[in-house]
Structure 1
């Protein structure tokens, strides 16, 4: 059953506050879909592959494509609107473009078929950048990724709403106010 749910996407370079805002929204009772790349990375580690994206980028990206399409379709069956999603399909092609890895046309087709209603861009913010075990990107690579992400989302004709560089509470208030959810 399709309830015509609004899909609100968060995009941006690694460590820009997307997950923190997703967690805050979950705490307020909103339906949120977490970033799935950590799950894909952990499953590969369980199979003995330290960084699947670095070792087999196309396989990693295919797993993300499948997972993100599942998230998108799952959001259609949620009665509560909006649904907030941490990272989207254009992120996948942005990363592959960055490493100059060719990919099948189905990646572009998915970007055109599964469209998000609103996209919030979390700009790179050096003051909050942190590395962790799943995140292989250093500071300079994170900045480079942002350029490819912006290019990818613009290529698929998304209008990006810039998330302010402010406290989590201020970001939450900005988001809820923008979406008239206050």
Structure 2
């Protein structure tokens, strides 16, 4: 089996990173989210919230970074490769804030295809704001809607992962993938 690129996405605070770490601890190859790195880099340069200050620059940095992550996954590598967010997250967030973006953003998302998309729904009992997560829970719910619409606009079948213990979420994904591949 060639490498299968699998995205784990969802609104802020839905448990994506916890799930990615759990999958990694079970021996799966995982590519980690880069948005917090971009945010911290901007904060070191004196820009508290780059996404709010210059959403296009922030999104360009994310798209470039996620494209590099995507390309780093060798087609000759075997097995499953999980991504904490995918390139279409960038355009979904831009749509969420109502910002225009260059045509190449959509072209990049359409041309470089993932194999499977898992979407984590909002989960109020685990949601927490922090220095990099500025959205309220209500905003996180709206982001979820834009992510679902965004991935569907790129003709992906989106699989929603039920809330619950991380082990159960992991098992849901693994069992679903066994049916697909």
TM-score range, shorter chain: over 0.9
The reply on whether 1:70 has 2:68 as its aligned counterpart is: yes
TM-score, length basis structure 2: 0.94
Distance 2:95 2:178 in 1: 36
Cα distance, 1:125 vs structure 2: 1.2
Distance 1:163 1:19 in 2: 14
TM-score, length basis structure 1: 0.94
* SS of alignment partner, residue 120 of structure 1: strand
* Runs of 4+ that moved beyond 3 A: none
The reply on whether 1:13 has 2:3 as its aligned counterpart is: no
Distance 1:120 1:173 in 2: 13
Cα distance, 1:143 vs structure 2: 1.1
**Ranges in structure 2 where 5+ consecutive residues have no aligned partner:** none
* 1:119 equivalent in structure 2: 117
Cα distance, 1:79 vs structure 2: 2.3
Question: Structure 2 matches for 1:130-145, cutoff 5 A?
Answer: 130-145=128-143
Answer yes or no: is the 8 Å Cα contact 1:21–1:172 preserved in 2.
yes
* Root-mean-square deviation (Å): 1.5
Task: Give the one of 150, 160, 163 matched to 2:161.
Answer: 163
Distance 1:141 1:78, change over 3 A: farther
Answer yes or no: is the 8 Å Cα contact 1:93–1:152 preserved in 2.
yes
For residues 73-114 of structure 1, the C-alpha deviation after alignment (integer angstroms, 9 at most, x for no partner) is 011257241100011111111111111111100001011111
Task: Give the one of 80, 89, 93 matched to 1:91.
Answer: 89
Distance 1:94 1:180 in 2: 28
Answer yes or no: is the 8 Å Cα contact 2:2–2:78 preserved in 1.
no
Distance 2:23 2:93 in 1: 27
**Ranges in structure 1 where 5+ consecutive residues have no aligned partner:** none
Distance 1:20 1:78 in 2: 28
Q: Tell me how many residue pairs correspond in the alignment.
A: 179
Distance 2:91 2:47 in 1: 22
* 2:49 equivalent in structure 1: 51
The reply on whether 1:177 has 2:178 as its aligned counterpart is: no
* SS of alignment partner, residue 108 of structure 1: helix
